[in-house]
Amino acid sequence: MTIVARSDLRHPCPSCGKACPGYDTRQRSWRRLDTCQFKTIIEADGPRAECGEHGVLQIDVPWAALDSGFTVRMESLIIDWLLESSISAVARRMHLTWDEIDGVKQRAVKRGLEHREIEVIRRVGVDETSYQKRHECVTVVSDLERSRVVFVADDRKRESLHGFWRRLTPARIQQIEASAMEMCAGYVSSTLAHVEDARTKICFDRFHAALRSNDAVNTVRKQENRELAARVAYARRPLARCFAQGRARVGAQRRGAHDPRAPVGHRQRNRARRSRRRRREPQRQVQWIKKQACGLRNREHFRNAIYFHLGGLHLYPGPDSVTRATF
């Protein structure tokens, strides 16, 4: 299918919208949906306009995005399939290369992030996940009420979470009611530095709280075991064994009470339970993304895969492009 542009038309500048004279044309091609199961390609002379303010620029065509080699409907179909399956599977079914399908995915994420508006977030979930066989980690921040990822950063350090808080205005930060996270000193320190009255809003994950409590019990138990074994025959005295277990429980409770990272807002226990339970939902979906990809060696691709499936972004090329396009 060949389309020829008229040379006497004035074209709007892509930057300012002013009508400008044509500069020249360049041969371009786009893959569109198959016609009666036959591969169909659109070829056209893509015009370029000469704007007095912005120079020579490529003119957008109504059936495709500016940086895409597919029509709007073709790219939308690929995005629909990517939401359901892996890049390799979509490439096999669409008879395209892996790089072409991945390019559609990367452009969709870039387009969605550029047009995304961060809404009011009341419950924040902070978690870390690993890739490359657990050698490196990324920080994932989620909106627990809407079950979507709003921020992804490298590593699991204090600076990793700083990037999320700096994106929010002071008014948005004050609207945060709870922040569910694991017992990571960097996450806690960053939250305390940016969120007012953060000690009443931090909710630790139940798994890490139980792990820390079990470690404290085990440490006290070993200390008591060594002390009693040096004094008496510990194995022959059931009373001494019960005494040691009692002291271990008391010691664990005291250590948990004096933990400087522990939140003081115990009155909001029910709200903390709900936040911790919702925090696990994005984490399960991130694990599904890693399993589906069979390993991601590129951190940027891993970040974009999380945004693509869990970011709640508008991935398609324009809000009304599918309805207005003719191809």
So what's the pLDDT on residue 273?
A: 53
**Is residue 235 pLDDT above 60, yes or no?**
no
So what's the pLDDT on residue 255?
A: 53
CB under 8 Å to 7, separation ≥6 — which residues?
A: 22
Q: Are residues 52 and 162 in the same domain?
A: no
Alpha helical stretches, state H, the chain: 72-82, 87-94, 98-114, 158-167, 170-174, 185-194, 206-231, 238-257, 269-293, 299-310, 321-324
So what's the pLDDT on residue 246?
A: 58
* Residues of the domain holding 233: 216-257
In-domain check, residue 243: yes
In-domain check, residue 264: no
So what's the pLDDT on residue 260?
A: 45
Q: Are residues 103 and 20 in the same domain?
A: yes
In-domain check, residue 36: yes
Q: What is the CATH number of the domain that holds 280?
A: 3.30.420
Q: Are residues 28 and 100 in the same domain?
A: yes
Q: Are residues 223 and 203 in the same domain?
A: no
For residue range 91-109, list pLDDT tens digits in order.
999 999 999 999 999 999 9
Nearest Cα neighbor of 320 from 69, 115, 16 is 115
Nearest Cα neighbor of 148 from 305, 314, 310, 315 is 310
In-domain check, residue 262: no
Q: Are residues 25 and 169 in the same domain?
A: no
In-domain check, residue 28: yes
Our CA angle for 174, 180, 184, nearest 5°, is 110
In-domain check, residue 70: yes
**What is the total count of domains within the chain?**
3
So what's the pLDDT on residue 257?
A: 43
In-domain check, residue 191: yes
Which residue would you say has higher pLDDT here, 286 or 48?
A: 48
Q: Are residues 274 and 134 in the same domain?
A: yes
Residues in the chain: 327
Q: Are residues 234 and 304 in the same domain?
A: no
Cβ atoms 138, 152 nearer than 8 A = yes
Provide mean pLDDT across the span 280-286. Answer: 67
| 45-54, 88-97, 141-150, 262-271, range with the lowest pLDDT | 262-271
In-domain check, residue 41: yes
How far is it, in rounded angstroms, from Cα 164 to Cα 173? 11
How far is it, in rounded angstroms, from Cα 245 to Cα 256? 17
So what's the pLDDT on residue 267?
A: 43
Q: Are residues 293 and 191 in the same domain?
A: yes
Q: Are residues 97 and 36 in the same domain?
A: yes
For residue range 14-35, list pLDDT tens digits in order.
778 788 888 777 788 889 898 8
Q: Are residues 144 and 203 in the same domain?
A: yes
Provide mean pLDDT across the span 127-133. Answer: 77
Q: Are residues 24 and 62 in the same domain?
A: yes
**Is residue 288 pLDDT above 80, yes or no?**
no
So what's the pLDDT on residue 248?
A: 54
Which residue would you say has higher pLDDT here, 182 or 108?
A: 108
Q: Are residues 152 and 232 in the same domain?
A: no
Pairing of strands 178-181, 202-204: parallel
